[in-house]
């Protein structure tokens, strides 16, 4: 049975959030699955499964609050160097999560990462989810898998140069055309608003390269809870903190 005091606190937070305003784009660094498992004497993949089980909850909270875009960082390029004993189950879990998001027919999936660095099966699952939800008009969910901020910027510049080469432009022409706008047009999140708020769970207070380019003007919120323990009240507190800072200092 749900604790009535918790429910009352959650309702109060929701009212406060509605009063101060909601970010349009939320970036989420889902961190702490392994430490969650270790603290319980469980296996690492059990921690990843517990984290995966919380993703649909989080997306629903975002939907209810009126957030339009979410970027979920599920796997970094650095994570690809982990042992195969951990990486392979994690990739299967991520594939399942992405498939479930797509199957809900509520949220639009957009892969945000270097798909060419991923195993064929994982990249294919991400592409299928994007195709399956291409016409969905709900919450836009960027699934950052095989993502690294430096990798994204390098890929953006590479894509910009390739397009210029296809147009037959000279090196001088390319140099003159390089602006922050032309680079942004080739990022994984091209055409989307930059994140207003970036949340990281597990108590770590660093970005680790997440949305390096896009987060230049973002607000940051660091939560002590491990990702599988992240609750709706934790999310609402983050939104409240964001709204209060916006009201106090302006956008």
Residues acting as catalytic residues: 31, 79
Say if residues 101 and 56 touch (Cβ distance below 8 Å): yes
d(CA 143, CA 15): 29
103-to-98, 99, 108, 136 alpha-carbon distances in Å: 9, 6, 10, 11
d(CA 144, CA 30): 11
Which of left, alpha, beta for 202 (phi over 0: left; psi -120 to 50: alpha)? left
Q: Which of 199, 197, 195 is nearest to 230 (CA)?
A: 199
Say if residues 196 and 23 touch (Cβ distance below 8 Å): yes
d(CA 22, CA 219): 12
Q: Which of 22, 39, 10 is nearest to 202 (CA)?
A: 39
SS3 141: strand
Alpha helices in the chain (DSSP H): 4-20, 33-39, 44-53, 55-65, 84-103, 120-132, 149-166, 171-177, 180-184, 232-249
């Amino acid at each position: 049975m749900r604790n009535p005091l918790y429910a009352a606190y959650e309702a109060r937070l929701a009212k406060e959030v509605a009063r101060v305003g909601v970010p349009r784009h939320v970036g989420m660094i889902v961190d702490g699955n392994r430490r969650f498992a270790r603290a319980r004497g469980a296996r690492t993949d059990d921690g990843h499964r517990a984290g995966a089980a919380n993703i649909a909850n989080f997306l629903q909270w975002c939907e209810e609050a009126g957030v339009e875009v979410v970027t979920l960082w599920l796997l970094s390029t650095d994570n690809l160097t982990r042992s195969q004993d951990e990486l392979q189950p994690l990739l299967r879990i991520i594939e399942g999560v992405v498939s479930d998001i797509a199957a809900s027919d509520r949220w639009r999936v957009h892969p945000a990462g270097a798909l060419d660095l991923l195993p064929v099966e994982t990249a294919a699952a991400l592409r299928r989810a994007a195709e399956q939800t291409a016409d969905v008009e709900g919450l836009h969910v960027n699934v950052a898998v095989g993502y690294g901020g430096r990798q994204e910027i390098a890929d953006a510049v590479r894509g910009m140069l390739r397009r210029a080469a296809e147009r037959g432009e000279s090196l001088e022409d390319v140099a003159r055309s390089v602006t922050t706008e032309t680079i942004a047009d080739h990022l994984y999140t091209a055409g989307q608003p930059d994140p207003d708020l970036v949340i990281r769970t597990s108590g770590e207070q660093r970005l680790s390269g997440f949305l390096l380019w896009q987060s230049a003007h973002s607000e940051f919120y660091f939560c002590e809870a491990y990702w599988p323990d992240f609750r709706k009240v934790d999310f609402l507190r983050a939104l409240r903190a964001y709204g209060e800072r916006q009201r106090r200092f302006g956008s």
